[in-house]
Chains A and B, each alone.
Chain A
């Protein structure tokens, strides 16, 4: 353990320092000043964190024995921090007009992102558990952040209840592994597990007995990170007409992006380091466990999305379906499959970021977030409507957009690996998702805008929108450099053997 290890934590540390600084400023400054300076301080620390990832070099480093800094971590961290910077920009106008405590919002967002960074880099089950907790506590507070809004509080309580139950489930799974192997380190766990059966004449425990344990870990991790936001959107008692608002759009965007990306990184590390191919458990883990989850997410997301009239819930279900496609990358667990996973994940982040930016802008005017609020959007705010169209097409996988490259690569690798059934289900889910994507496009472009007010687009939101549109198109047409990064990141796990 070296002092220099802390260098590699620079991105995390700068986020935490930023959060503490904002909290400190919050004590000293009044609300007006916080509104002006809070987001700038957050932006500065986010940019500092992002910049520092470029100074750390490519060599793989074990940080404090519980984290790994390598090209894969760097890729995921840059993705997370890039999204964070945009989220801060996006939150700026929204937060100022919706809350009394802008400082607190940014501090929570920083903690949230720091948790995500740690989740992505963990190589130790206890570290992972702690990082997930940091992530989910900050996330819960973010959901409940609009104190004035009863529904936000409701959502936060729901997150808290589900969240703690899932922590217990995940901790139980990990404790089993600890009990069997006496270690919490991924690689050491893997070594100890392979010693449990195979060498001795009578195996201590049969691999099949560990399946429920694996299921605990998987469900815990996925619910806490991947689909954590969706409980919140589940209709519950209140329905659309009752004015179900849920998390504010910037918060919804954070929840849709940061934990999912981090969760996938953690899942990849678990799959390839703790349960590597040499281990009998590997195959059970990938298929049926992760595979079934992928299928369920794809079908569930696309089918339930069909019934949504609230655009945030619609996008949440679409996100679940997207998560299912990306999970296929984990099922494949090959070098190319992993590159494809990173590409699809990045495409998802771009499109989701853009979509939620558009939603955030519209919901300032019309806080009910109904799809019908988007009627004639093309006439009321052309930039928003065009952006939304492009992002939705990218989520569908339209050629020429980043989403197509991700899906194409994933599908190609799925075919190579021979998971034809999975492939057909993925295609089916894409086709079903057309049903609800089509509704949004139809409202935005074809329905008349009679009786609807124009939507002013704040400058910060325009910047984010245009950046995402350019990103989606450029990565969709000239993706070479991007794909090389993803390949380099995926190689980390396959270089030695």
Chain B
């Protein structure tokens, strides 16, 4: 079969977006369902991509498409997926579908533009995960910023302007730095192809240059993860974004940063990464700061959405920690147990992104549903909601347990893998990271479960809140089911990641 399935998937949402543009503005019902239909179609294709990649062996690039794009600039339209990207593509498709479905019932104004932007955003996200040409990667990377900027700025909360501008300036400035880094890599290796450049090890002869370019690229991606101290745009953006925007931003868009590091920074500069993760542990400290600082802020934060945003920062800290552990593979030529640990760290980072994507999206949906009913995000006003919203309570309880890493749910596996890698290679960091987990358990149980649902109910205010409606359940249930299924039987996910990770880690080893 010669169907270019990656291109079809990639441009499916864009096609939907164009069709949405052609529909009359007043037909908002039709616009909504066009959006959902295209998102579902893309999700189905993404599932096929995952299945095909897993079946073919996810250790190398599959379904590759390779065509000249702008030969004058040596740019190629090269797409491909491996075990690392296929689940991320699926996740992006899933969360866009959930977000558009949920929005179909909640967003009332400017539906056409909203749907258009969401579909455009999906194409941009998928493009990042599929692109194997650095500039193609960069194009999708940056194009994705515009829709999210407008989604926050136009449909966001009270302080949306500030949040949108901050988001835009932060991430665009980071992108410009990243572009310079990519150009430098091209200058050194003579190719824009991600895999060829990694094989060529840019600037291996010039440590100074390698350091500068490494940091340029690292910062560009770190802003997007985001890692402390580059995280300040995230709480504003997540708090002000409309619920569905938060879902996609927290669940899918943050993954682009970590993926960029896995696909570009780590393979290009394993040695530099090792230096700054282990020898001069700046990156590790940044990761730990994200974990501990994020968790501490959560303890003190009473705005529901801001709390979740900082929780996001903390959870993305584990991704960075896993990446830091993975870089240790560089020095471990013959030592297979250390190599295993490094693979475990990288697996953990990938898993953590996936599980964070599912769990945090579910959390944002649930919290959005509650706070939109109650018209407040102030945690102190709540309490005892379990009796009025039993279904919400049940779903939130499962999600919260997944968030704190309870065995049997998806969050457990990702943290297990991260720590398995970190304990062997960065023992001190692992210990501090575990302390962070204690805090996570603390604020999750105390605030998200106790303060919201238990305790005494303010009957006058909340008696009439009402439980989840059918479409709210339909939005949340798939995510919760995934948490449970993948928590009990994570093999499909872990095996896919692992196939790619093993090959990658081998390639880092000192040559």
Contacts and interface: CB of A to CB of B under 8 A. Distances in A.
Contact of B165 (A415, A423, A424, A442): A442
B72 interface: yes
A423 B71 contact: no
Interface stretch (A169-177, A312-320, A392-400, A455-463): A392-400
Contact of B143 (A398, A430, A445, A479): A398
Contacts of B154: 445-446
Contacts of B160: 446
Contacts of B70: 405, 479-480, 483
Interface stretch (B29-37, B84-92, B182-190, B254-262): B182-190
Given A405-B70, A445-B150, A446-B164, A412 B183 contact: yes
Contact of B72 (A416, A431, A483): A483
A434 B173 contact: yes
Contact of A400 (B143, B164, B165, B184): B143
Contacts of A17: none
A396 B143 CA distance: 12
A483 B69 CA distance: 12
B73 A409 contact: yes
A389 to B, nearest CB: 8
A408 B73 contact: yes
A interface, by DSSP: helix, strand, loop or mixed? helix
Contacts of B183: 411-412, 415, 423
B146 interface: yes
B72 A487 contact: yes
Interface residues of A, number: 31
Interface string B146-183: 10001001100000110011001100110011011001
A325 to B, nearest CB: 13
A128 B179 CA distance: 39
B138 interface: yes
Contacts of B448: none
B441 interface: no
A423 B212 CA distance: 14
B143 A442 contact: no
A404 B143 CA distance: 11
Interface in A403-449: 404-405, 408-409, 411-412, 415-416, 423-424, 427, 430-431, 434-435, 438, 442, 445-447
A424 B177 CA distance: 9
A98 interface: no
B187 A416 contact: yes
A416 B190 CA distance: 10
A438 B165 contact: yes
Interface in B58-85: 70-73
A484 interface: yes
Nearest to B180: A427
A399 B72 contact: no
B164 to A, nearest CB: 7
A415 B187 contact: yes
B153 A412 contact: no
B142 A398 contact: yes
Given A430-B176, A483-B70, A399 B138 contact: yes
A480 B72 contact: yes
Interface string B115-144: 000000000000000000001001111110
B187 A427 contact: no
Nearest to A411: B183
B176 A415 contact: no
Interface of B: 70-73, 135, 138-143, 146, 150, 153-154, 160-161, 164-165, 168-169, 172-173, 176-177, 179-180, 183-184, 186-187
Given A427-B180, A438-B165, 17 more contacts: A396-B172, A398-B142, A399-B138, A404-B139, A405-B70, A405-B73, A408-B135, A409-B72, A411-B180, A412-B186, A415-B183, A431-B173, A445-B153, A446-B154, A446-B160, A446-B161, A484-B72
16 contacts: A398-B143, A399-B139, A408-B73, A408-B179, A409-B72, A415-B183, A427-B179, A430-B176, A434-B172, A438-B168, A442-B164, A442-B165, A446-B164, A447-B161, A483-B73, A484-B72
Interface of A: 339, 393, 396, 398-400, 404-405, 408-409, 411-412, 415-416, 423-424, 427, 430-431, 434-435, 438, 442, 445-447, 479-480, 483-484, 487
| Closest CB pairs A-B (n = 10) | A399-B139, A483-B72, A446-B153, A431-B173, A415-B187, A399-B142, A427-B176, A446-B161, A415-B183, A400-B143
